[in-house]
């Protein structure tokens, strides 16, 4: 016996088994669409399910449960954003999802995933020693994948909402003191690729920026280096490509001192001699910093080999200084010297002065002390 209600019906299949069928109208081809669900239990339970779903439809809140796996949806989402984000950003999204989300949740259907599943990913990362910052980044990317599912009508709610995230610990940025920076430069000038570290310390460029510099980006007569692109190594399949800079603000011109310009001229002559001696074996990409064959340098290899060697000879190997510390040191020394934070922000390619001050807040107390001393001289001298 069938019970019929507006847009739906309940069909008894057996004792305590009922088929609920609800009309969803017609698709774009004019074909009728239905939502069907077998309910086990008394007929009143089937009636309650039917009434609830009809109410969802009336309120525009009904979503057909997606049978697609999260892994397949992630693939779709990554494909959809491929042309709208920088290659470096895309690679980081792909890596984070593959490393942390797919192994735990990839096999589940989208409609099965709950907040508890998402929370288990973050808790597992925390147990594995992942930093709160990394967990927050994974959360941000995962949330975007589910948001796309909502936009596509696959989900009604985002299971990432209301997730509990670990509080981000603010760690002190490791930088060199003025004396350490001078000692570092003195040592680097006699070491392989030392000119790279000298430019990094003077300009505050990111590694992917100064490793993508071409000679056409340098105006050595007027002492200017133009940041135009970033070097990105492909995680899958190997190889490299020159990508757009991190943000529009990252495209900038940075003044460089004459001492560095002179060193770069010497470096260029030496590079040209190697290029001529190798002939066709040299790959001419016009890179300022390259391997002996003219190909791009790897930031990882540069850090583990040449940079580590300079730190050791300068007596700085136990200071926790990474390659990125050259950028941080440049910014810190400028701020400590009283340079306008806006000027520092522009040199670094930051999107705002606030970002600069938040990143280098450890310098602010000294800046405040200097400001107080200067004000006192004006008021009480």
pLDDT of residue 27: 66
The answer to whether residue 171 sits within a structural domain is no
**Does residue 2 surpass a pLDDT of 70?**
no
The answer to whether residue 42 sits within a structural domain is yes
The enclosing domain of 325 has a CATH number of 1.10.443.10
Give the residue-averaged pLDDT of 72-81.
Answer: 94
**Does residue 328 surpass a pLDDT of 70?**
yes
* 369/195: higher pLDDT: 195
For CA atoms 287, 289, 293, 297, give the dihedral sign: negative
DSSP calls for 361-378: GGGHHHHHHHHHHHHHHH
Burial call 325-343: b when 16+ CB within 10 Å, e when fewer: bbbbbbbbbbbbeeeebee
Calculate what percentage of the chain has a pLDDT beyond 70. Answer: 92
Backbone angles phi, psi at 224, to 5 degrees: -135, 135
Q: What is the dihedral of CA 16, 21, 22, 26, to 10 degrees?
A: 170
d(CA 282, CA 41): 77
Do 68 and 110 form a contact (C-beta atoms < 8 A)? yes
Maximum mean pLDDT: which of 53-62, 125-134, 356-365 = 125-134
Per-residue pLDDT tens over the stretch 16-48 = 899 888 877 776 677 887 777 888 988 888 888
Domain match, 221 and 118 both? no
Contacts for 162 with CB less than 8 Å, ≥ 6 apart: 115
The answer to whether residue 379 sits within a structural domain is no
Q: In the listed set 59, 89, 108, which residue is the last one of a domain according to the structure? A: 59
Domain match, 204 and 76 both? no
Among the listed ranges 260-264, 289-293, 350-354, which one has the minimum average pLDDT value?
A: 350-354
d(CA 158, CA 146): 6
Per-residue pLDDT tens over the stretch 230-285 = 998 876 666 888 887 767 778 899 999 999 999 999 999 999 999 999 999 999 99
Contacts for 54 with CB less than 8 Å, ≥ 6 apart: 5, 6, 7, 8, 22
pLDDT of residue 173: 75
pLDDT of residue 209: 95
Domain match, 206 and 260 both? yes
The answer to whether residue 291 sits within a structural domain is yes
Domain match, 144 and 86 both? yes
pLDDT of residue 59: 63
The answer to whether residue 55 sits within a structural domain is yes
Domain match, 91 and 204 both? no
- Per-residue pLDDT band for 4 (boundaries 50, 70, 90) equals very low
* 87/98: higher pLDDT: 98
- Per-residue pLDDT band for 3 (boundaries 50, 70, 90) equals very low
**Domain encompassing residue 15:** 2-59
Q: In the listed set 109, 135, 151, which residue is the last one of a domain according to the structure? A: 151
Domain match, 133 and 184 both? no
- The side-by-side arrangement of strands in the sheet containing 2-5 is 2-5, 8-14, 17-26, 32-40
Among the listed ranges 29-33, 117-121, 145-149, which one has the minimum average pLDDT value?
A: 29-33
The answer to whether residue 6 sits within a structural domain is yes
Give the residue-averaged pLDDT of 213-240.
Answer: 88
Domain match, 133 and 273 both? no
Domain match, 126 and 233 both? no
**Per-residue CA distances from 8 to 2, 25, 34, 107 (Å):** 11, 11, 9, 32
Domain match, 99 and 141 both? yes
Per-residue pLDDT tens over the stretch 159-205 = 999 999 998 776 667 899 999 999 999 999 999 899 999 999 999 99
d(CA 205, CA 221): 20
- Per-residue pLDDT band for 214 (boundaries 50, 70, 90) equals very high
The answer to whether residue 320 sits within a structural domain is yes
pLDDT of residue 368: 74
Domain match, 229 and 325 both? yes
Kindly report the average pLDDT of the chain as a whole number: 88
Do 34 and 23 form a contact (C-beta atoms < 8 A)? yes
What's the N-to-C CA distance of the chain in angstroms?
101
d(CA 242, CA 232): 6
pLDDT of residue 65: 64
Domain match, 18 and 112 both? no
**Does residue 6 surpass a pLDDT of 70?**
no
How many structural domains is the chain composed of?
A: 3
**Does residue 363 surpass a pLDDT of 50?**
yes
The answer to whether residue 156 sits within a structural domain is no
| Most distant CA pair in the chain, distance | 101
**Does residue 66 surpass a pLDDT of 60?**
yes
d(CA 14, CA 151): 38
Domain match, 239 and 300 both? yes
């Amino acid at each position: 016996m069938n019970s019929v209600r507006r847009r739906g019906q309940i069909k008894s299949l057996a004792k305590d088994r009922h088929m609920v069928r609800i009309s969803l109208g017609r698709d774009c081809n004019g074909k009728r669409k239905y939502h069907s669900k077998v309910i086990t239990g008394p007929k009143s339970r089937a009636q309650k399910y039917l009434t609830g779903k009809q109410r969802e439809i009336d309120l525009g809140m009904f979503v057909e449960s997606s049978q697609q796996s999260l892994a397949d949806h992630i693939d779709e989402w990554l494909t959809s954003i491929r042309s709208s984000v920088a290659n470096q950003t895309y690679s980081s999204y792909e890596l984070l999802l593959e490393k942390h989300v797919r192994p735990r949740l990839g096999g589940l259907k989208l409609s099965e995933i709950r907040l508890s599943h998402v929370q288990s990913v973050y808790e597992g990362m925390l147990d594995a020693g992942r930093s709160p910052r990394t967990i927050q980044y994974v959360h941000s990317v995962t949330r975007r994948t589910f948001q796309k599912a909502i936009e596509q009508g696959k989900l009604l709610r985002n299971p990432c909402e209301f997730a509990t995230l670990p509080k981000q610990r603010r760690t002190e940025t490791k930088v060199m003191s003025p004396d350490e920076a001078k000692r570092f430069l003195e040592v680097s000038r006699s070491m392989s690729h030392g000119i790279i570290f000298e430019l990094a310390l003077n300009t505050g460029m990111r590694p992917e920026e100064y490793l993508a510099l071409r000679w056409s980006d340098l105006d050595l007569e007027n002492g200017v280096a133009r940041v135009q692109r970033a070097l990105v190594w492909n995680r899958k399949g190997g190889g490299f490509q020159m990508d757009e800079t991190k943000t529009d603000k990252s495209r900038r011109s940075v003044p460089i001192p004459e001492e560095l310009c002179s060193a770069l001229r010497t470096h260029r002559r030496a590079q040209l001699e190697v290029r001529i001696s190798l002939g066709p074996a040299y790959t001419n990409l016009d890179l300022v910093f390259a391997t002996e064959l003219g190909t791009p340098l790897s930031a990882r290899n540069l850090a583990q080999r040449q940079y580590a060697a300079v730190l050791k000879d300068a007596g700085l190997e136990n200071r926790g200084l990474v390659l990125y510390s050259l950028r941080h040191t440049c910014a810190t020394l400028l701020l400590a010297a009283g340079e306008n934070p806006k000027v520092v922000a522009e040199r670094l390619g930051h999107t705002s002065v606030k970002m600069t001050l938040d990143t280098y807040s450890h310098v602010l107390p000294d800046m405040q002390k200097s400001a107080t001393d200067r004000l006192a001289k004006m008021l009480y001298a």
